[in-house]
Structure 1
Amino acid sequence: MQEIPLIDISDLRQTLGAFVTGVTVVTTIDGAGRFHGLTANSFNSVSQDPPLVLWSQAIKAKSHHVFYAADRFAVNILAEDQSEISNRFASSSHEKFATLPVDLGLGGVPLLRGCSARLQCQVVSRIAGGDHTIYVGQVCSVERSERRPLAFGNGRYLRVAGYGGEKISFPASVGA
């Protein structure tokens, strides 16, 4: 069996940064009724039947024990003008929800306002994935707006063109 070469983590991180993603804040509630949330771009659709999504969280994250114990979570897909909210939830602050108006979703899970979309999910599995836990959730409720989503790539926030009613023409070779 051929040995797999070691990869430089900073090179890997920069290379993966070339893949542009959306930006989400995943939220939940703990047993004492306290809200928890974190910024995640490790979000993906898994299945349409049943409707499943996944996201991953570092095991070292301060809120890992809360999300691991939670039965529900919400994925708040941020809109293009919500980079400050992304930064807030990427921090280690205990005051992430301070002065931030929220709606209450299923099971009391906080839902952020002004997002491009929101999904409310029931946890169906937790999978060990190296230094992360992968959460798979069944989507119980969806909401979306016409707001453009916030994107992230190469270490910075990006604006999405051609979203909504705008049409973009591509050369014939793209996607062929």
Structure 2
Amino acid sequence: MGTPHPHPTVDPAAFRHVLGHFASGVTLVTAIDGATPVGFACQSFSALSLDPPLVAFFVAKTSTSWPRIAKAGRFAVNILAEDQEDLCRRFAVSGADKFAGVPWTAAPAGPPIPDGTLAWIDCTLEDTVPGGDHLIVIGRVRALEAPRDDRGPLLFYRGAFGHPSPNR
């Protein structure tokens, strides 16, 4: 056997295509910056630890929303329902007032919870770790609830929302 090349070249388009075969749920990460609600759509979210209760997500270093959320020190991860694709698209746009016309209530510590989400997780910022062109954000869970069991989750798979067939 030969020695593997220490830094293999991976085509970014192939990387995106292959990893697109992993279905993921979709969340909104939200916070209050002063008196202004802010947030962004995020599909790279995961439970990290049960003891202590930690979650993690990845955010692009180029995000304009993340610095405002990090400054707040508290955020909510909102798990979207299958009927919230429009809400997700709104939060995926950079620079817009994403909360304009979006009804929400506050989590116990204040981060916004848009109406109709399947579940929410209220967190304090525990740590950030560099990860290539992203940051790995670790949040300590302070409160959580799953108030909506009448719908399935919003999924993202092979560049589309919903429950796409692998044969499309």
Q: TM-score, normalised by structure 1?
A: 0.85
Contact 1:80 1:159 in 2 (8 A): no
Q: 1:93, CA displacement in angstroms?
A: 4.1
Unaligned runs of 5+ in 2: none
Query: CA separation in 2, counterparts of 1:131 and 1:106?
Result: 32
The answer on 1:19 being equivalent to 2:22 is yes
Query: CA separation in 1, counterparts of 2:161 and 2:96?
Result: 24
Contact 2:64 2:95 in 1 (8 A): no
- Find the counterpart in structure 1 of residue 94 from structure 2: 92
2:162 alignment partner, SS class: strand
- Find the counterpart in structure 2 of residue 149 from structure 1: 153
Runs of 4+ displaced beyond 4 Å: none
Per-residue CA deviation, residues 34-92 of structure 1 (Å, 9 max, x unaligned), is 11110000101101111110011111111232123231110110000000001000012
Please, what is the CA RMSD of the aligned residues?
1.5
Aligned pairs (5 A) from 1:77-156: 77-144=79-146, 145-146=148-149, 147-156=151-160
2:156 alignment partner, SS class: strand
2:109 alignment partner, SS class: helix
Aligned pairs (5 A) from 1:149-168: 149-159=153-163
Q: TM-score, normalised by structure 2?
A: 0.89
* Percentage of matched positions with identical amino acids: 39
Unaligned runs of 5+ in 1: 161-176
Q: 1:107, CA displacement in angstroms?
A: 3.3
Query: CA separation in 1, counterparts of 2:6 and 2:160?
Result: 35
